[in-house]
Structure formats: C-alpha cells, structure tokens
Amino acid sequence: MATIPLQEPRLRRTGGSVFFAAGFRPFFLSAGLVPLVMLPLWLVVYAGGLDLGIATAPSLWHGHEMLYGFAGAAIGGFLLTAVPNWTNSHHVEGRPLMVLFALWLAGRVGFALAGLLPPALVAVIDLAYLPLLGLMVGRPLVAAGKWRNISFLFILAALWLSDLAIHADIVFGLGDGLAALWLGIGLVLVMIVVVGGRIVPSFTMNWLRMNGQPVEIEPIGWIEKGGAAVSVLVGIFLAALAPTSPAAGIALLVAASINGFRLSRWHGHKTLTNPILWVLHLGYLWLVIGLALLGLSSFVPALPPSAAVHALTAGAVGTMVLGVMSRAALGHAGRMLEVSPWTVAAYVLLSLGTLARVAAPLAGGAQMGLTHAGGTLWTLAWGLFVVVYFPIVTRPRADGRPG
C-alpha cells in the first residue's frame, strides 16, 4: 500500500516569527478563516441583501473564492508541510513563506475588489500565487528525485490554467467562467482521491494494528495506479462540458462506483471510536455521494445538480480539508494526535451543514431556510476550528523543536 509519510523532516532553527516557521501555520489558519468571512457574506448576497458590484455572476465569485481561496490555502499548507517529509528537506519558512502568503492574500483582496479594479489587474494579482507555490514545492521534489509525487505539480499547473480560463472569460467576455470553475473543482477532487487513497488506508491499518485489530488492505492495481483518479477527472470534465448529458451521467456513476468500492475496503466501520480517523473516511464518503448524485441528475430531472455540487464541495472538499488540517497541525506542532471535543463538534457541524445544503434544492419553499441553516452550521464548524487551532499554529511546537 502506497503511503504519504508524515514523519518530521530535517528541521532547523532560524529565529523569526513562529507563525512563519512552517507553511501549515499561516495557510491552515487562513483556510479556516476564509469561510468565516465568505459564507456569511455569501448568504447575504444569496438572499438579495447585498450587491457586490461586480460584472461576473455572484455564484462565480462565491465558487472561485471557496476554491482558490479556501481550498487553495489548504492545498498550500498541505504541500508545504508534506514535501519536506517526502524529500527530507527543510521547510519553506521566514521571508519566502511571507511572500507566498502575501500573494495568496493579495489574490483574495483583489477578487473582493473586482468591482473597483480593472479585470486584467485582478487576474495578474490572483494568478501569482500558484506558480510560486509550485516552484517552492517543485524544486525539492525534483532535487530528491521524487518523481512519483511530481503529479502534484501537474495538478497545481492545471489548477492555475483553470483559474486563468476563468479570468480570460471575465476579461475578454468569452463566457461565464463556470465550466472552468468546474474543472478546477474536479482537479481538487482528484487531489483528494490521490491523497486520500494514500493516507486513509495507511492511517487505518496503523491504528487498527495498534489496537489489536490487524488488517491488511491489499491495493487493486488499476484503481490505485490511476483508475480512481482518472474516473473522477473524466466524469467532472464531461459534466463541465456537457452538463446533465447521458455521457456525463454514466461517467460519473462509474466514478462513484469505483471510488465507493475503494472506500468499502478501508474498514471505516472499525474507526468509529477515533474521530480524527473516521472523519477522513467520512470525507471520502461525501466524494462518492456527490459523484453519484451528480451522475443521477443526468437521468432524474427532479434531482438538481446543485445538490451534488455541495456534496462534492462542502462535503468532500470541506470534510477532507478539515480532517487533514486538524490532524497535520497537531502532528507538526509536536502534539498528540487526539482531537478535542470541540473539534469533533466541528466535524459533526460540517456534515450537518452539508446535509442541509444538499437537501435545500429539493425542499421547495424551505430552500432558502435550509440554505441559510447549512451555511450557518458550516460557518460554526470553521469557527470552532479557528478557536481551537489558533493557539496551536501561533505558538512554538509543544516538543520544543523548530518548525
């Protein structure tokens, strides 16, 4: 079984701000803060209480910032933390990390001011972050010859191209940007399939072995060597180009079946006493549910695609991001891998919020109420994460080591 090791790389003490001693610190905290700002604002916009004053559809603004703001920060924090482990190299820290974080933040400010700034300037600002992130994580990967993990650089490059396509649609009036946004979502889902397929079964086997329940999860070659990821990418690609078409529906149902079968072999039912582990199984389950709902929407007119969209984004992306960040932040801050009851509450609130948001398009007159309830629960979940993890990411490591 291929794994992503999370042991510590070589560390060095250089002084300076603890907050910029490792990438997980500013980026994980910022990923938690984005929903606290974006979701309440979006709920006001959705209810018609605020005009953003932008030329693009408000739904594109919302989707873009949740993808490239929220998920973009989480991806940055994960790669900046994982790559030193894979390559036994030093963390990106200090001034270079500050510059990278400033570019990510500038992109968020630029897109927020899209109604006031020239679209081309917004594009230049927003498109600066991912290339520098790719350079920072790519150099040690290439230097260490970690070719197996080079795939993450291709995902980053494709994410950047999808963002470029969104801005091209805005600047040149080529379209509404939603197809490119869908492709970006698909790429993040592919990253979840790749990372989840490595860490979830590995963590599960290790924990069960420690608790006297040894299991072996034998990989199925074609699934682990690209079948699971390619099926998701093909399904989302077809859904972006030909929404609700039979071809897209079939491809998505195939992707749901492949990934559902994959998940069923990971013994998730045996992890229910370990929240920091079952939340990862739950995040992957949301991926399967979302793919299945999106596929069925091609054949069931009463099932709107928007229900599936939120199962994939609020459910799969949100839960996996919360699960990975809450675990990795503890480990890399020198703490025990045991989450507090408040973090468990955040896990539960996140899925309850997702359930409400998925059900909203099916609820008729209750749609607005369920949408607001879902958004509120989701916001509360991230509020708990920020409260619990703010001291963890802003203070020195508990074990006294640098990083």
State pLDDT tens for residues 197-240: 999 999 999 999 999 999 999 989 999 999 999 999 999 999 99
How much is the mean pLDDT over the chain? 93
Contact 146, 87 (CB under 8 A): yes
- What percentage of the chain has pLDDT greater than the value 70? 96
Residue 8 has pLDDT above 60, yes or no: no
Residue 176 has pLDDT above 70, yes or no: yes
Q: What is the pLDDT of residues 74-130, one digit of tens each?
A: 999 999 999 999 999 888 999 999 999 999 999 999 999 988 899 999 999 999 999
Residue 401 has pLDDT above 90, yes or no: no
Local confidence band at 46 (pLDDT 50, 70, 90 cut-offs): confident
Contact 395, 18 (CB under 8 A): yes
- Prediction pTM value: 0.94
pLDDT at 246: 97
pLDDT at 3: 45
CA separation for the pair 142, 353 (Å, rounded): 41
CA separation for the pair 295, 302 (Å, rounded): 13
Q: What is the pLDDT of residues 264-287, one digit of tens each?
A: 999 999 999 999 999 999 999 999
Local confidence band at 1 (pLDDT 50, 70, 90 cut-offs): very low
CATH code 3.60.21.10 for 18-394: no
* Residue 143 CB partners (closer than 8 Å, separation 6+): 87, 89
Q: What is the pLDDT of residues 367-377, one digit of tens each?
A: 999 999 999 99
Q: What angle do CA 63, 20, 89 make, to 5 degrees?
A: 100
* Residue 238 CB partners (closer than 8 Å, separation 6+): 245, 247, 248, 251, 252
pLDDT at 364: 87
Residue 402 has pLDDT above 90, yes or no: no
Angle between helices 94-112 and 72-87 (to 10 degrees): 160
CA separation for the pair 120, 38 (Å, rounded): 23
Local confidence band at 6 (pLDDT 50, 70, 90 cut-offs): very low
Domain ranges of the chain: 18-394
Q: What is the pLDDT of residues 297-312, one digit of tens each?
A: 999 999 999 999 999 9
Local confidence band at 12 (pLDDT 50, 70, 90 cut-offs): low
Q: In Å, what is the CA distance from 318 to each residue of 66, 78, 394?
A: 10, 14, 23
Query: Which residues of 229-338 form beta strands (DSSP E)?
Result: none
Q: What angle do CA 151, 155, 160 make, to 5 degrees?
A: 145
Q: What angle do CA 384, 389, 391 make, to 5 degrees?
A: 125
